[in-house]
Amino acid sequence: RHVSWYGNDFQRQRALACLTGLLGAIGVKGGFVPPKGPKGLAKAGWAKGEHHGESLRDMKDVYHYSPPGTPTDLIRDTAITGKPYPI
């Protein structure tokens, strides 16, 4: 059964984790064994991109409520101009 945020599933999983720790069933035969990760993979990182030179502080007077290029930015601009397309 999967954990969801509805109906105390999170509390049930937390209680099971506490019981597993109290009973000493972590890392032993028949108990909980943490899964191993895949071998040969390096740590993931952010892709290198170009620096555009504009910071959000510089654009605060133009874009009051959201950073440029976000869906909220596009929705706001289309609502102000009255031209709903290409969204």
Query: For residue 62, is it within any domain?
Result: yes
Query: For residue 44, is it within any domain?
Result: no
Q: What is the pLDDT of residues 28-63, one digit of tens each?
A: 888 887 778 788 877 777 777 776 666 666 666 766
Query: For residue 42, is it within any domain?
Result: no
85 close to 75: Cβ distance less than 8 angstroms? no
Query: For residue 17, is it within any domain?
Result: yes
Query: For residue 23, is it within any domain?
Result: yes
What pLDDT is recorded for position 60?
67
Query: For residue 51, is it within any domain?
Result: no
Query: For residue 13, is it within any domain?
Result: yes
User: Is the pTM value of this prediction over 0.75?
Assistant: no
The CA dihedral of 53, 56, 61, 64, to the nearest 10 degrees, is 150
Range of the domain at 18: 1-34
Query: For residue 83, is it within any domain?
Result: yes
Residues written for the chain: 87
Instruction: Give the number of domains in the chain.
Output: 2
| Burial environment of residue 63 by CB neighbours within 10 A (0 to 12, 13 to 18, 19 or more) | middle
Average pLDDT, the chain: 75
| Burial environment of residue 66 by CB neighbours within 10 A (0 to 12, 13 to 18, 19 or more) | middle
